[in-house]
Structure formats: C-alpha cells, structure tokens
Structure 1
Amino acid sequence: MRHRWPGLLLVITALAACSGTGGLRTSDGLFAPAVDTSRDNVDGLVVGHRLMAGGEYELALKAYYRAAAAQGMTVDVLSAVGSANLRLGRLNQAENLLRRALDTDQTFVPAWNNLGVVLMETGRYGEAERVFHTAFALDNGESAAIRENLRLALAKLENPSYDAENKSQFALVRRGSGEYRLLATP
C-alpha cells in the first residue's frame, strides 16, 4: 500500500496539469483531455495539389476528400476532386464535379478550363471551345495554357482530324487564393 502513493500522486499531478488545457471532466471526476487543435492542420487541398504534381492521383483524390470533410464541398474542393478524376480518366465523374463547381461559382477559372479539357477528351469540341473561351475571358487572357487550350479547341473544331505535335493539354488547379498551378495531362 505504501508504494502506491507515489504512483497515485503522479497520476493526480498529471491530471491536474491537464485540467487547464481544456477537455471533459466526467461526473465521477475523471478527466479526458481534449484534442490539441491549436496547431495548424495541414490543408487537404495543399496536400492533394502536391500529390497531383507528383503523379499520385488516387492519393490526391483521398486528400481532396479529407478537405471536403473539413471544409465542405466548396468550389475549390469540387474543382480539385474533378481534376483528380480527370487525371484518373474518370471523365464522366470529372465532368459532373466540374459542372457542380461552376454551379457554385461561375467565375472560377480552373473549373472552366478543366471542364474544357474533359469536353476535348470526349470529342465535344464545340462546347469545349465555348468553355475555353469563357475561361480565357474570365482570366483576362493572362494564362498561356488556357490560350493554348482554346487554340487547340478551335483547331479541332475546324478540322476534327487535327492532331497537334504536342499532345499534352493542361489542367489548371487553384492553389490558395489566386495562385494557379498548371498540371500537364497526358
């Protein structure tokens, strides 16, 4: 019995130290410390963008879903999930998600551009041209990638058998507030 006191004293001291950090004290006086939320959690969108840049599209999709759980299905999240599905070749899912993103915010340039890429991949060149034109206008013509996508769509529209020397097309993914990152699609 005599040896239990130092251990019991240590437990009581530890619990008393935890009591100032927030948490839950139960009816029987036990204390359950709260999770430390004061640290900045890593944003799932940032992690997803990094995974996309590294070619890890399936893992990026999971990171984007974690961002959706934390933030909700914002225009950024919808566009990012759509972009990941585009890179995974899931064109119908990508199209649906990108259209949902545009229903949320009709001025979101990355969603317009990525939707245009999906439409090009599915052979709908006329609609792709209109979508790229909208993205180009909303971006004030500042993105060379969108300009090139628009040029390719116009070329395909005029000559459906047109095959550019460089088969890479671009997907535009928004990072943070206003910074864009271009991701080449094969």
Structure 2
Amino acid sequence: MDQLTVGHRLMAAQEYELALSAFRLAAAEQGLTPEIITSLGSVNLALGRLNQAEELLRRAVKEDPETPDAWNNLGVVLIERNQTAEAAQVFRRAFALDNGESVAIRDNLRLALAKMENSQYNVEEEQQYKLVRRGRSDFLVRPTQ
C-alpha cells in the first residue's frame, strides 16, 4: 500500500499527525504532485495550521486548477480566516468544477453565501465546513468551542 493511501486512511481515522507523516513519505517517494500537495494542505487544515494549509492549497490549485477538492479545501481555510467573500468565490469554482455533484462542496458554498448575506450568521452554532478528499470520503471541519 502506498503512503498516500495510508495518509488518506489515517485522515479518515482522525489521526492527523500520523497522516501528515504518511503524506510526507508519499512526497519523498512520488514527488510533490498536486494530489500530495492538496493532501498536505488538507491535513494541515485539520491540524489547525491555517498558514501552512493556505500556502499548500494555493500552490495545489495553481499547479492543478481543475481539482475541485483542492479548491473546496482552500475555501474552508479562507472561511476559517474570515475571508468570506473570497471563500465564496473559491467554493463557486469548486462547485462548478465538480458539476454540482459533491454534497459537501454544495453545502460549503451554501453556508459561505449565507454567511455573506447575514453578517450576524452564527458561526459557532451553524457552520460545519467539510474538507473533501478526491474520490474516497469527506472530512468535516467543525469550529472549536
């Protein structure tokens, strides 16, 4: 089993530090492919490392602008950083690239638009943004209490 698959399974098990190690090993074995860069950005987001996550996810979408999961996860970072307008644009792009098929991306776009429309929207109670991983499963990012 390759380290990228191991990392995805560890993410699903919420073993983020171990997933980070697996993704780093995958990068050493395969190079920094857009999928590995997206995975590294996503695990950094799950670990709350927003600066690293944003940098990696912006790099991923620059290298492969047709990947909806990377755009979605970048949108989650932007929402976490209260950059709602840019996040909504990023979610729109992810939604379009995905042809509206991902429930997680649709929900993230809906929540970002609602937050933009209503500045009083309660982030703590209502919003739960979802990280998306290519073809395997969804990850949920919940605000900390």
Specify the TM-score bucket, using the shorter chain as the normaliser.
over 0.9
Larger strand share, 1 or 2: 1
- Identity over aligned pairs, percent: 56
Where does 1:129-140 land on structure 2 (aligned, <5 Å)?
A: 129-140=88-99
Where does 1:23-38 land on structure 2 (aligned, <5 Å)?
A: none
Instruction: Summarize deviations over 1:109-147 as a string: whole Å, max 9, x none.
Output: 110000000000000000000000000000000011111
Q: Distance in 2 between matches of 1:107 and 1:180?
A: 18
Counterpart of 1:154 (choices 91, 113, 124) is 113
Instruction: Summarize deviations over 1:65-122 as a string: whole Å, max 9, x none.
Output: 0000011000110000000000000001000000110111000111000000000000
Counterpart of 2:102 (choices 143, 151, 157) is 143
Q: Distance in 2 between matches of 1:173 and 1:67?
A: 16
Q: Distance in 1 between matches of 2:98 and 2:69?
A: 9
SS of structure 1 residue aligned to 2:139:
strand
Larger helix share, 1 or 2: 2
Counterpart of 1:92 (choices 35, 51, 58) is 51
Q: Distance in 2 between matches of 1:180 and 1:124?
A: 28
Q: Distance in 2 between matches of 1:161 and 1:50?
A: 37
Q: Which has the higher contact order (CA 8 A, sep 6+)?
A: 2
Structure 2-normalised TM-score? 0.93
Structure 1 residue 149: deviation in Å? 0.3
Where does 1:87-126 land on structure 2 (aligned, <5 Å)?
A: 87-126=46-85
Structure 2 contact 69–133 (Cα < 8 Å) conserved = yes
Q: Which has the larger radius of gyration?
A: 1
Structure 1 unpaired stretches of 5+: 1-41
